[in-house]
Structure 1
Amino acid sequence: MSARTVKGQSADQLCDALAAFSRQMYERGWMPGTSGNISARLPGTDDRALITASGRDKGELTAQDMVVVHAATGEVVEPTTLRASAETSIHTALYRATDAQAVIHVHSPYATAVACRAGQANRPTLLRLERFELLKGLGLADPAGTEMPVFPNWAEVPRIAAHVADHYGQTSNAPPALLIADHGITAWGKDLAQARNRLECLESICQVLTINGVGIHTRDI
């Protein structure tokens, strides 16, 4: 089912918003080429979400480049010529395990650099973040510090998604963001604007970690 065939003005508006946010992320250098993906729960439905199509240039994305999927499973509601993002299963894992209403995955440079330093090839780790004023932007119960998970960049994306669902399903105080080793950062929120704001806070924190040469402190999950 094409996103434009979903009835209701709100669906059209969400398609436009997803395309606009994708172009913004591209212009900032956070979604170079066809990288990255964005999704949001579809208003007026219990179990559906819109996600950016696979293989599309994020700087030229339009409202027509969205795919309707089941929010719990990632299955395409009705096949079309578009393919849902290859990382759809990570988005749906977050929809199942958290209260996320919108999810944004980007390859912003500083967060990706930190993901390269903090990640392991064969096991998930936790990256300790503390004393940063911008942690207040994440809506944490205790903004003094948090541990952000860093998942291995396994070739099998559903394997990453399974670990994401397991961690966030069992960790009540986990931050609304994660890293994938050598790959990038994902953040989420009650809507696209909040997810973007959280990304901005974390990218700035990662910039300080990188520029100042601050030590990266991790532990195994």
Structure 2
Amino acid sequence: MLPAVSDRPPPSPGRGWQDRGMAEQRRDAERDRIWAELVGTARRTVADGLVVGTSGNVSARVGDLVLVTPSGVPYDRLGPDDITGVDLTGRQVLGTLVPTSELPMHLAVYRATDARAVVHTHAVHATAVSTLVPELPLVHYMAAALGGPVRVAPYATYGTDELAEHMLRALAGRSGCLLQNHGTLTYGTGLDQAYDRTAQLEWMCRLWLTASSVPGLTPSLLTEAQLAEVGERLKGYGQRR
């Protein structure tokens, strides 16, 4: 005897599958949004003269995924299909373009801090300062926005774990540092903050170079106590939601 044939439609996927699908769509949309913002930030480093050509690099963390600019590709050529991502071990999990050669530095920052974005540049004035002193002199109170006097990480070959280690030591208690004979690195809670810190660091370096170049005069510098006072005031700076 043949089994009875039911007129009922086959069961549809449960609510859990729908929720999971929607969650994945939201995750992908957020990832794509951050990638677009990252590309915009990378292009801004060129437009503002902080890098030349494909030097420098930018990254952003989305969960356990790190989106990063690819190696050797002009930023004005990057589009949505060029999205490049790695996990926190450096294994590429998204895209086909090779990630930036400075990946060890970016990953070191994400592993050691709560950073959500990192900007690395070859800004002229900041790089010049990195060849002159072990620490940017306290020529302006905005050093407090980076956590204190900005240190210079000793030189090491680009793209190496040694450079990443030097950078982390220079970043201790700071959100930015100079890289000797190389450039700058800053991080923040988002791409805007990381970029603003880079721009601020370059401006302070330019300020110090300008002031210290006047013959017969020496720039006045702030004390650690003065900087600490500014640091407290900056905690309440800006609009409150």
Quick check: TM above 0.5? yes
CA contact (8 A) 1:40 1:192 kept: yes
Please give the residue correspondences for 1:1-221 in structure 2 after superposition, counting only pairs within 5 Å.
8-42=28-62, 45=63, 47-71=64-88, 73-77=89-93, 80-118=95-133, 126-138=134-146, 140=147, 145-155=148-158, 157-165=160-168, 168=171, 171=172, 174-213=173-212
Q: Distance in 1 between matches of 2:176 and 2:74?
A: 24
C-alpha change, 1:10 and 1:115, in structure 2 (3 Å) is same
Q: Distance in 1 between matches of 2:87 and 2:41?
A: 21
Amino acid at match of 2:126: A
Q: Distance in 2 between matches of 1:38 and 1:116?
A: 23
Q: Distance in 1 between matches of 2:149 and 2:115?
A: 18
Amino acid at match of 2:194: A
Q: Which of the two has greater helix per residue?
A: 2
Q: Which runs of 5+ in 1 are unaligned?
A: 119-125, 217-221
SS state at 1:49 partner: strand
Q: Which of the two has greater strand per residue?
A: 1
Normalised to the residue count of structure 1, the TM-score between the two structures is: 0.77
User: What is residue 235 of structure 2 aligned with on the other side?
Assistant: none
CA contact (8 A) 1:18 1:63 kept: no
Normalised to the residue count of structure 2, the TM-score between the two structures is: 0.71
Amino acid at match of 2:67: L
**Cα shift at 1:99:** 1.5
Q: Which runs of 5+ in 2 are unaligned?
A: 1-24, 220-241
Alignment: residue pair count: 192
Amino acid at match of 2:142: L
SS state at 1:146 partner: coil
**Cα shift at 1:151:** 2.7
C-alpha change, 1:167 and 1:74, in structure 2 (3 Å) is farther
Q: CA RMSD in A?
A: 2.6
For residues 170-212 of structure 1, the C-alpha deviation after alignment (integer angstroms, 9 at most, x for no partner) is: x4xx221122211110100000011011111111110012112
Q: Distance in 1 between matches of 2:158 and 2:122?
A: 17
SS state at 2:67 partner: strand
Q: Distance in 2 between matches of 1:182 and 1:115?
A: 6
Q: Distance in 2 between matches of 1:212 and 1:35?
A: 28
* Percent pairwise identity: 30
**Cα shift at 1:74:** 2.0
Q: Distance in 2 between matches of 1:166 and 1:206?
A: 20
SS state at 1:39 partner: strand
Question: Whose relative contact order is higher, 1 or 2, with alpha carbons under 8 Å and at least 6 apart?
Answer: 1
Q: Distance in 2 between matches of 1:178 and 1:103?
A: 12
**Cα shift at 1:147:** 4.1
